[in-house]
A and B are shown apart, each in its own frame.
Chain A
């Protein structure tokens, strides 16, 4: 059932995934054994078209805010179209084209430093230049004479803000298309696995909230490079991803487990070297031009307390009573979450090393990143994007992916309602519904974690393992698909 149909080189979803099979009944059922193929609409082209559609809908979803340039403090929550981009464009000095790591004291008096790793700052800075260019390179001098909050209210700046969001949205669309293409290429026999990324409701809703997609493309690239046995490139992409959003660093753990199992130490060394080198190279411009500003990302994140979306926030709010205000010390959370995450990593490593078959990088990466997010101090709605490319390859089953994303979509709605004040109980006190949303989302994530872990225990339940080329039973999952394909065609 899972083998490719007819003369196709790939697994067809209608015969592979129960949900798609059921859905296909409406249009004539699963693909037949004698089905031909469309000469132009190859799977990758279909996937790219679907991604474009998804991103376009995502932009449309933000239309309510776009119309008033995100200035309406209430409708950005009621219409769930909030995005950080417009506020940071004026709040971090991009409206004046300041280098994000400038140590000019006048700039620093006017603007806070970008609290992100360098990759995102570079991207935002680059898109700001494009924004200024397409809006006719406005004269910046009048802005220097006015208060930054005042400048942020000028109609000309509002026009720029909208242009900035558009420039970024188009940039993100390009990145998402690239992502889809890369994910489709990880396992050439299963290009359709990327459709869960292309049509993900989470991608649609959260793609434009912040710059996370920039890091996501590096993760997709790393999975792609690893599948082609290009260890150095994998490392470079992991390094660049880490310089963009830190979490791609955890893929190195997955690489380590695979290399340990197969006793291939050289690829691991190459990956590590590539990652370290690329990370340093990417950080150098910021580090050299503004060391104090570069440090802000690190101090900002170590000093922040329990924040939105995290389990810590639920506990903190639950323990907070009126006469006795309670809040976690940031360093308590740091310590506790690092201990938990360390233990989680050991667990994942043990699971990976004892699994009957070598796990795939996507599976291990998914498990580690999920562990990091479960105990992170802040769990923003768009962080789902971190897991998305890993999840769709780790467990290409619509049922499980939809269960997981249902939790995410619920949380997405809940956080805006919460911020908009719609969830505040009439009797006062804390919002139980918001807590419930956080916990449900965590539960949904744990469900997918369990599914992936089960696949590691019992590889026969892993859809990807089941559709491997039977001759290569001993082979390491998808880690050498090209080789496998080559031997396949020569056979």
Chain B
């Protein structure tokens, strides 16, 4: 057409030609618009046809699952770290279907009042709600609740772990289909027979047995209202979960009854009367399969699974296969050690004397074994995660902090008791064990080395040490936290202290250990020192696999540098000395190189309230804690011996002996004898008068492992700055080859060789050199 016009153009006179050219423009634009519109139309039509066709196809091919056949919850199994031996399982399917006419009217009304007040009148699906849920779920937020009972039912029918658009689409279609093809009664019946009520109970029949030990048809109004309230969030509304849950339940319970009165299901005064109190909850016997330590294990695993994002429904009915870090050997060792070493006699029954044991693998943080103090069926308190005041077992963290700040093990502190913080003999003071000249604790002299202070657990040395560092309490606390001790979350109460250390605060007495710390965390923090200063997170879940074999979670090891390798080596050396010559010599009976620390803590009445021994070999770190009654009661005068070096150290030795049986004897790295630039004066090592007969020993010539590794220090030549910080080919840190012959005991300290010991000159130049060496190491770490 335009060709014609153009062809005709030149024949015409100039004016019309101009006009022709002028009219051509709008036409082309119009044409262009039309062309675009046409394409839009065609594409749009095709798309909508495809969409409609797809929807019809999807609708036809989606079947409504039969709740009685297709919906089966699956038992989740928990295994030891070998992935084979079973620890136990979570709630096997506990569900009985009953027809709607056996469900009390009150219950039906209560559930409608609780979950979906317009259930009988609405059309079941809420497209906006689906869209919103689809978005927020696919974004990975917490699963958004579907708003109506119909939709909740749809969700139950597709109980899977996946959260995908595809599943959401399926849900939308299914809810449409349900709404069109099933009556409201059928939907409610299916819903009440499949919904999870907590306590492993699916469906209202199992729930009334689990909560009230009776059949559903016999439930009272109050009981109906409780069940209707609980199903919204079983873990936060089950009154068995503590006071807070009970309070939340009460609130929801009143809301449900109010809703029933509003809907005229019950009279207002009847509802009001019922709302005044909760029904009685009969004592439900805990299942015997939780007996012994298994209940403790399963509850630890459950709580970690929840931290990992699994919910109760998945755990109880999702058919998970959970591999834990526990080994049967370490679990049995912990239980046997605690049983064998505790004092005999009826007054020392498990009910009165709690012996907690926790064994953690250094380097991975894997909890290999524990003993919670008593049978789960007797008490659900697991003392290995509840813990107690740690006393002097906290001191190694102060040692590490001091070494980090530039003190050395040979630097000296005040050993005379009492030690006054203001150095004026007034105000707050710290005293040692024993009586001494003044009846206020043993005096060790004014110049006691940090090493001796650790060996003999001298309180005043650590008090002096703490105030000799600028911001000493904060630094000690930071070091403890870096090593793996959780901080104090003041808003958290309860018996689970795996993520909390009540009382851990930067006060001048911090090193003396007034904080309450879980034995698992103590073992883990000591494990960090055993691991050369790299901290791992304590954990019990190794791997979670779905029923179909899909790996839903896999623990991946990662460690963080908490203290330098040299700091760890020296701290470790001080603790080896505790075992060799200090307060922990009972642990020598292990017959392997071992390091550890004893501890006792006193309560507010100045009674000894806990006794500890925490220690490790290179393969395993174990904490042992003895507490009485509620955890703060008096041990001195009750236990035959109450020092950490007695029962706890013997228990530790017994447990470690069993847990390590058949494994190779491993050795610790040599101490580094760090000697940095001390942050405070007056702590120089005590120099005995020169003894001319003593030959100077070549210092440090026997430490081949400390050579800084050259290639890793060099900057990266291209634009990638990082190279793995340790060369993979690095030899193992042990300097002693067992094959060639090693001392069976921890290689006893070759008397600290200090140039100052032989030549009485101020030791400043070597110290400066040491600082340079240390900073170099720190740079390497970067």
Interface residues of A (CB under 8 A from B): 71, 73-74, 76, 82, 84, 87-88, 90-91, 106-107, 109-110, 112, 115, 141, 144-150, 152-154, 209-210, 304, 307-308, 378, 380-382, 415-416, 419-421
**B751 interface residue, CB < 8 Å from A?**
no
State how many angstroms separate the Cβ of B535 from the closest Cβ of chain A: 11
Interface residues of B (CB under 8 A from A): 363-364, 534, 543, 554-560, 709-712, 714-730
Given known A84-B718, A90-B724, contact A73–B712 (CB-CB < 8 A): yes
Residue of B nearest to A382 (CB): B718
Determine the chain B residues whose CB is within 8 A of the CB of A73 once the complex forms.
709-712, 714, 727
Given contacts A145-B364, A421-B710, 5 further A-B contacts (CB under 8 A): A109-B556, A149-B728, A150-B728, A153-B728, A380-B718
Residue of B nearest to A72 (CB): B711
Determine the chain B residues whose CB is within 8 A of the CB of A84 once the complex forms.
716, 718, 720
Determine if A149 and B724 form an interchain contact, defined as CB atoms under 8 angstroms apart: yes
5 nearest interchain CB pairs? A73-B711, A153-B728, A109-B558, A380-B718, A144-B556
Given known A91-B724, A141-B554, A146-B557, contact A419–B718 (CB-CB < 8 A): no
State how many angstroms separate the Cβ of B540 from the closest Cβ of chain A: 14
Determine if A149 and B554 form an interchain contact, defined as CB atoms under 8 angstroms apart: no
Determine if A148 and B717 form an interchain contact, defined as CB atoms under 8 angstroms apart: no
Determine if B363 and A74 form an interchain contact, defined as CB atoms under 8 angstroms apart: no
Determine if A112 and B557 form an interchain contact, defined as CB atoms under 8 angstroms apart: no
CA distance A477 to B437 in the complex (A): 102
Determine the chain B residues whose CB is within 8 A of the CB of A74 once the complex forms.
710-711
Determine the chain A residues whose CB is within 8 A of the CB of B726 once the complex forms.
149
Determine if B722 and A153 form an interchain contact, defined as CB atoms under 8 angstroms apart: no
Determine if A152 and B556 form an interchain contact, defined as CB atoms under 8 angstroms apart: no
Determine if A209 and B724 form an interchain contact, defined as CB atoms under 8 angstroms apart: no
State how many angstroms separate the Cβ of A428 from the closest Cβ of chain B: 14
Given known A110-B557, A147-B363, contact A308–B720 (CB-CB < 8 A): no
CA distance A154 to B724 in the complex (A): 14
Show 8 A/B contacts (Cβ-Cβ < 8 Å), sorted by A: A74-B710, A147-B534, A149-B728, A153-B729, A209-B718, A210-B718, A421-B710, A421-B714
Determine if A144 and B724 form an interchain contact, defined as CB atoms under 8 angstroms apart: no
Determine the chain A residues whose CB is within 8 A of the CB of B725 once the complex forms.
149
Determine if B719 and A210 form an interchain contact, defined as CB atoms under 8 angstroms apart: yes
Residue of A nearest to B543 (CB): A141
Determine the chain A residues whose CB is within 8 A of the CB of B716 once the complex forms.
84, 308
CA distance A53 to B724 in the complex (A): 33
Determine if A87 and B559 form an interchain contact, defined as CB atoms under 8 angstroms apart: no
Determine if B728 and A381 form an interchain contact, defined as CB atoms under 8 angstroms apart: no
Determine the chain B residues whose CB is within 8 A of the CB of A209 once the complex forms.
718
State how many angstroms separate the Cβ of A308 from the closest Cβ of chain B: 6
Determine the chain A residues whose CB is within 8 A of the CB of B723 once the complex forms.
87, 91
Residue of B nearest to A378 (CB): B719
State how many angstroms separate the Cβ of A369 from the closest Cβ of chain B: 16
Determine the chain B residues whose CB is within 8 A of the CB of A112 once the complex forms.
722
CA distance A419 to B714 in the complex (A): 6
Given known A73-B712, A107-B556, A141-B554, contact A307–B719 (CB-CB < 8 A): yes
CA distance A382 to B720 in the complex (A): 12
Given known A419-B714, A419-B715, contact A152–B557 (CB-CB < 8 A): no
CA distance A491 to B215 in the complex (A): 102
Determine the chain A residues whose CB is within 8 A of the CB of B719 once the complex forms.
115, 210, 307, 378, 380
Partner of B717 from the list A106, A109, A308 (CB cut-off 8 Å) is A308
Given known A71-B727, A73-B727, A90-B724, contact A145–B717 (CB-CB < 8 A): no
Residue of A nearest to B713 (CB): A73
Determine if B711 and A148 form an interchain contact, defined as CB atoms under 8 angstroms apart: no
Residue of B nearest to A90 (CB): B724
Given known A110-B556, A110-B557, A149-B724, contact A82–B717 (CB-CB < 8 A): yes
CA distance A390 to B373 in the complex (A): 75
State how many angstroms separate the Cβ of B144 from the closest Cβ of chain A: 20
CA distance A107 to B364 in the complex (A): 15
Partner of A415 from the list B364, B717, B720, B729 (CB cut-off 8 Å) is B717
Residue of A nearest to B555 (CB): A144
Determine the chain B residues whose CB is within 8 A of the CB of A150 once the complex forms.
728
State how many angstroms separate the Cβ of A323 from the closest Cβ of chain B: 15
Determine if A210 and B720 form an interchain contact, defined as CB atoms under 8 angstroms apart: yes
Determine the chain B residues whose CB is within 8 A of the CB of A381 once the complex forms.
717-718
State how many angstroms separate the Cβ of A250 from the closest Cβ of chain B: 17
Determine the chain A residues whose CB is within 8 A of the CB of B557 once the complex forms.
110, 144-147
Determine the chain B residues whose CB is within 8 A of the CB of A382 once the complex forms.
718
Determine the chain B residues whose CB is within 8 A of the CB of A115 once the complex forms.
719-721
